Every structure is written in C-alpha cells, then in structure tokens.
A and B are shown apart, each in its own frame.
Chain A
Amino acid sequence: MRNSPLTALLPLTRRLAAAVVVTLAVAVGNFFLFRLAPGNAANLGLVPNASPELRASLEHQFGLDQSTATQLQAYLIQLAHGNLGVSFANRRPVADNLWTALLNTLAMVVPGLILALVLALITGVYAAWRRGSVSDHALRAVALTMFAIPGQWLGMVLLYGARGHLPAGGISDPFLVGTGFQAELADRLQHMVLPCLTYALIVYGAFMIVLRTSLVETLSEGYILAAKARGLSNRVILRRHALRNALLPLVTLIGLTIGTMVAGVILVESVFSWPGLGEAIYDAVNARDYPMLQGAFLLLTVVVVLSNLVVDMTYSYLDPRVRL
C-alpha cells in the first residue's frame, strides 16, 4: 500500500516540531545563562562615574529593575511576536544589529566554505585515488598542518605576507568615496580575500582528511571492483559510485561546521577587524547587552537546529536507506 503524501511528511513534521521545542528550551536557558554573569548594562564598569540615580534610571529603562520572572515573561511575549527587543548598547532593534552582523559573517563564511570544499574535493579525491603515493602523503601533510594551525596565527601570517598588496582590515576602505560602484565592489572583494582565505584554510584540513579517508574506504568496496571489471571509466566510477557514498561523512562535517561557525570565525574576525557575528557577540558579552546576546544565541540555535535538519535530509537524499 502506498503512503499518502501526508504520511510521508509526518517524519519531517515531527522533526520540525522537535526543532521548535529545542529552540524554545535553549531560548529560555540562554535567558538565565547571561544573567549569571556578574554585573549588568547599568553596572559601574560600563557606565563609569554614574550616580546611583543614573544607574537606577538605566536599570528602569532596561527593565532590569523588574523581577526575573517578569523579565522572562516579557521576553517570551516579545519573542512570540517575532520581536527580539532593543539592544541596551546602541538602542537599535536587535534584529537589525544581527542582520548586519550575519550578512558580514556570511560574506566571509560562504565563499570560505565553498573554497574549502572545492579544494578538499580536488585534493581529497586525488589523494584517495593515488593512496600511498608521494602526492598522497604530501597532500595529507598539508591538510593535517592546516587542521592543526591556530586560525589566528594563520590569519596573522597571511596578513604580514600580503602587506601592501591586500587591505589589512575591515570590510571596506572607509576613506574610499565617490569612486563609483565598480571601484567600491573591487574594494570590498579585496577586503574579503584574506579573511575568506584564512577561514577556508582553517576548515579545509578537516574536510580533506575526512573525504580522503571515506573515499579510500569506498574505493576498496567490492562494487567498485565490479564497476572496474565492467569497464566503466575512472571518472564514472568516481562520480557515480565512489564519491556519492564517500560524501556522507563530509556532509555531516559541513553541517557541524556551519553549526559552530561563530566559534570558528571569531578568531578570523578578530585578526581582520571583520564586523561579523563573532565580534557582535563578543561586544554584547562585554556590554552585558542581554537582548543582543539572547537574540544572537537564538539565531545560532536556529542555525544549528536547521543545519542538522538539512544534513539529515541530505543524508536521506544521498542514501535513500537513511530515513528521517
């Protein structure tokens, strides 16, 4: 008997419902987590020379003079209306702040991930196909080195290496004005090169090693030998039979990388003064900007939950035996 479309969607609906519950639980957890840190946005460390009256006034403005239960209730009601609140630090909507920071982070992460994937695919496939050869050893050594090198150090090396040729920091040259769209675009692309390259090299090592290992395993399977015996070309064997099966662990790794991208990019952002999510979170922690922190971690939670969901769906597509 064939399943109805509704029945087929049931597992996905179940997963989505679980994702919503997890996100809500994390949102509530985060609310309490940030309030465990000493001090708040009206603290003397953040508002030096403030009189007790000013601190009281700021606490009132920020709602910090209310009970934790009342603050939580207000937060959840706000959240239910799709409102992430207003930043204590710059008094702008948290959603606007996060959107700007997220776009900046994506401008570095997306090209970086694509570059890393392309490099990993080329070198991983080559190394696996030529396993045991000098080039396999050399490529693995490079990948392991990239995997082991601290991202910040790598960024600094690239920074010094490219001094005078590529911009040292920031997302654009603030002093470049009235030069037209093309010049500004070129400026932005130049500013992206070092951060994107650094991020790509940081994540490349793990991608390459996982892909190579997985591919070596797959290439020793009986069905690959059978395919060769059938006289299929190497390209067809790789593309149709080996790579598709070998990609599964890499897909998991990509999902994990996207989920933890902030941890990865914060060091790169710090070296290249890149105003992305990592920087925004760091600033929010220092400012005890609860709405911003709650919003940022909610966003990260959604990204992790969604990337896991997408990974599971991709698994199911690549290997139909895997069900959601």
Chain B
Amino acid sequence: MLKSRQHARRLARRVGIGLASAVLPVCLLAGCGSGDSSSAGGGGGVLRIGDALSRIDSLNPFVGRNGFATATFRVIYPYLLQYDETQSIVGDFAKTTEVSDDAKTLTFTTYDGGKWSDGEDLTAEDAAWTINTIVRLKDGAAAKFAPYVANIVRATAPTPTTLTVEYSTPTATAEDGLASLPILPEHIWAPMAEGKGEQLTTFVNDAPVGAGPFQVTKYTENQFVNFSAYDGYYGPAPKLKGFGFQFFTSNDAMLSALRSHELDVAYEVPPTAVSQLESDKSLTVNNVPGLDIDVLGFNSSASQDEHPELKNPKVRQAIDLAIDKESLIDVVADGSGTLTGTMVPPVLEKWNDPSVTATPSDLDAANKLLDSLGYTKGADGIRTADGHPMDYTLLFPSVATGAPTVVTEVVKQLAAIGIKVEARSSDFPSFLQAIYGPDNQYRGWDMMISDYAFGYDPSGYLFSWTCAQLGGNNLTGYCDKDYDDLFARQSTQIGDERVQTVREAQQRFAQQKPVIPLYVANAISVARSVGNVPEQTSSPLVVVNYMSKLWIEQATLG
C-alpha cells in the first residue's frame, strides 16, 4: 500500500530522476535541431516583434511573397525608392531622381560607398543587372516581379553611381514598380540567372547577402528570424542594435508573451483584444484604418446563366441596401474598421474617390426595389425571380478577414429581404479552384466573400477586376470594356490626370456593382516602449514597413 511518507518521497525522487533522464536527451536532441546561438544581441536595443497570423514564406525574393518576406527583403536589400509616411515615393538607394521630358527615361543618382554583407561593393550596376534580369525573365522565373517592370526596355549604369531606366511608353506605375523591386547582388545571383533562370526560384537563400540597414543573423523557418544592424549600409545607421520576428500559431500565446515582456510589439492583433489591451497603460495600441477590404462579390461571368437576375444592377443595389455595413464593423471587427463605397481603400486618400460612399442600410428600400421587379416572397419567405427561388450559393475562404462571422451576418441580413444564401467555406486554394471552375468558366456559384489588400498605388486595386485578370486575380468574372479602357488610360497618365481617371474607374465600378465593399479592416498592432514610429500608418507591419525602411531606421526602444 502506498501510504508510507518515506516511500512516497522515495517514489517522487525516482519519478523525478526518471523524468529528468527522459526529458534531457530528447530536449537536447531537439535543441541541436533548432537552437539559436548566433542571433542579434539580447535586450537593450533589440526590438522583439511577434505575429500569429503569418510567417515568412521564403527568404528567396523570387519566391517569397507574403508581408513578412517582403518586409525582410525591404530591410536587408537596397531598393531604389520607397514610400514615406505620407504615402509619397522618396529615395532609398537613389539619392536623386530625374524624369526625362518625354517621361520615358528615369535617371537616378545612387549612394556611393555601400557594401554587400560579403564585402563586395554595392553599385548602380547591381541595380541595372537586377532590372535587366527581371525584364528578361519576367515571363518565367522572375514572373513575380513582372508587374514592377512593365514597359521597361532596359536599365544601364554608365557610372557606379548613375542608373538609367528606359521605358517604351510613359508609365504611371514606374516609380511604384521601382519602389517594389529589391536590388540583388549580381555576383551572387548572376550564375543562377543563366539560361531560363530556373535556379532563381529553387535557391533557398537562408543566409542572404544584403546591403540594407539590417542583415539576417539567424533564421529558423516558421519560428523566428533575427536581424542585426549592418555597418556597411549606405543610408543612416539604424538606432536599434537589432530586431527580430517571432511567429506564433495562436493570438493568445502572442498576447501573453507581450504582456509578460517577452515581446515589445505584437502585430495583426485581433480586434476583439483591443479594448482589453487599451486598459493596460504600459501598452500603446495602434488601431488605424488599413488596406484590407472585405467584399461581397457577384458571379458576373458570361457563363453564369443560372441566376441572371444577379447581373441586374437593381438586384445588386437591393442587396447593397440590405447589408448593414456599420453593424458588420461592430459585430465582426468590434468597431475596428471603416466604411468604403469603392474598391480603393479610403486610407489611400489621393486615389480613393470620396464621392463613392458606402450605401447606408435601408431594408424597406431594398424590399421595395425587389418588389418593383416582381420578385415576390413565397410562403417560405423566399422570393422568386423569373420563376426560380432567390436561393444562392456563396463561397468564401476560411482565411478571409472576419470569416466566418462576416458571412453569417451577411446571410442573416439577406434573409431579411427574402434572399436565401447557402455559404460554403474552404481553404484558399480550394476556394479559388471553385471560383474559377474548370477552364476558368466561373460556374457553379452565385456570390463570394473574400478580402484583398495591395500597396499604396491604386493599380493593384483596379487591375484585379479587369478582363485580363479573368482566371487570375479577378474573383467575379467581371469583364467590362469601359472599365478596362479606364484602367489602361490611367496606367499611362501622370499626376492629376491619373487621379481623375482612377476615380472615374471607381465610379464605373460602383455603378455596375460586381462587388459590394463590406468594410475595410483596421491594421492593429500593440507596442511597448517603441519610439520614433509614426502613429498613423496603414500597414499592419507598423515598425517594419514592407514599403519603407524609414520606420525601422528611426525606431528606438525605451
């Protein structure tokens, strides 16, 4: 019988020794596999950033696409240009920019004295090589960068500090493109770019040679990446000694780490956590309008013939009236969102058309509109349109911002005007496969809810709905010649002319309503004692902005 205290103590000691001897070898084995022994500094000057939604998908710039990969490229590689806090394009590796009279040639004077982290000189020739290589391979291995080199004929470096980029036609997105293109060390990447350059996409690059303000000191896939300040940087020396991203798989763990001082900044914080975090006076909650728009889209493709009434702008208008977007923001995002009537987020003030506003909810007007079309409600409360019930299939990816709550709310609100919706969730690749259907025919569904976000230039928000993007980024099958013409026109315009055309495109789109913007999710981050960072920024990556080095160069701790 286990009743003797002495026996119990002996047993406990044995158990303890047994556990320790079982734990230790396994721990050491695991430790050898993924330990950190060489990362940047510890405490005092090392900014620790956590995120629970995303990770770095690849350190290879020809492969890595997500926000953290792009943010990493931004800090380790030179870029010719970058965005500042007013969303204006300013110099990075380029000190000055000159545009030719015909707007077809851009000439840059670049910094002198920069070094790659392996000791080689950084010159304008690296920039010219990078651009020319991407232009040459834009239909293959470098296709990821193709939109950024649109209309580029060639780049040349007449001197080590002069770069000339020639375009076949004036290009509205020329500077935005060059602000999105990392400059790579020719001596490292040139051998991989030979021929069709297939090695460019298979190179792991987990010890990148860069020339930005910080360099990667330790990277463990899906867990963390550490950076330390680099003294060969051509720009102003960063104030931090280093920084790092730690990737979590749950928000609870990330916020717990923030509260227990294991982190200095938490990114992509869920809106539901905001009020509780705001009550902690040692934390600064940065809850600002973002770039990520949730939309309800209608299948607008030519092959959608099962429910032709959904192509009727009046039906779309009724649905728009039935959806209470303000309540969506309250219920789904706990108030952390903004309204928009167009597909360009309001935070892009220069481009967003303020005359296109979100439609206020009005159930009576929605019902009247459908009644006027003769779509009467049956005994089951569901309307009939042209002989068939208004009973629709709605697809959404489980990863969409606000899903599944936003979908549940929309389904409920549409039921109030006699429209039945069956919502189907899937992961993102399956969602896209279902949207496009075999041969990009957009068959078998009626509505979809998804979200999207691009950079600070409006072209991304506009081009997704062009005919050229059918089977690509175009999730509704919408194809309208007038809209396409407006898109094409703005892409060769500069200044106010372009702004005007971009706004016309938004008006055309809002009239036809292939999508109804539901809300724009706020970008929310929480920081403890991080200084010199602009409070208002639309990027979720507040300190390490993927469009700029300015934030991380200036950031301080304490």
Contacts and interface: CB of A to CB of B under 8 A. Distances in A.
Interface of A: 37-40, 43-51, 53-54, 57-58, 61, 89-92, 99-100, 103-104, 106-107, 110-111, 114-115, 118, 122, 125-126, 129, 156, 159-160, 163-164, 167-179, 184-185, 188-189, 192, 196, 234-235, 269-275, 279, 283, 285-286, 288
Given A110-B26, A170-B224, A51 B429 contact: no
Interface in B228-260: 244, 246-250, 252-254, 256-257, 259-260
Contact of A272 (B220, B222, B253): B253
Nearest to A41: B429
Contacts of A48: 65, 473
A47 B220 CA distance: 22
B31 interface: yes
A255 to B, nearest CB: 18
B19 A118 contact: yes
A107 B147 contact: no
B222 A279 contact: yes
A159 B256 contact: yes
B202 A91 contact: yes
B141 A57 contact: yes
Given A39-B430, A49-B473, A167-B257, A174 B30 contact: no
A170 B223 contact: yes
B433 interface: yes
18 contacts: A43-B433, A45-B428, A61-B198, A104-B34, A114-B22, A168-B257, A169-B257, A175-B48, A176-B42, A184-B36, A270-B249, A271-B249, A273-B223, A274-B249, A275-B34, A279-B222, A279-B249, A286-B429
Contacts, number: 225
A273 B26 contact: no
What 4 A-B pairs are tightest by C-beta distance, nearest first? Answer: A39-B429, A54-B143, A169-B253, A174-B224
Contacts of B379: none
Contacts of A188: 27, 30-31, 35
A210 to B, nearest CB: 19
Contacts of B248: 168-170, 273
Nearest to A58: B201
B39 A159 contact: no
B193 interface: no
A174 B257 contact: no
B27 A107 contact: yes
A103 B256 CA distance: 26
A51 B197 CA distance: 16
Given A110-B26, A169-B253, A174-B220, A288 B34 contact: no
A266 B47 CA distance: 30
Contacts of A44: 432, 472-473
Contacts of B247: 273
Given A156-B252, A271-B250, A43 B432 contact: yes
Contacts of A283: 222
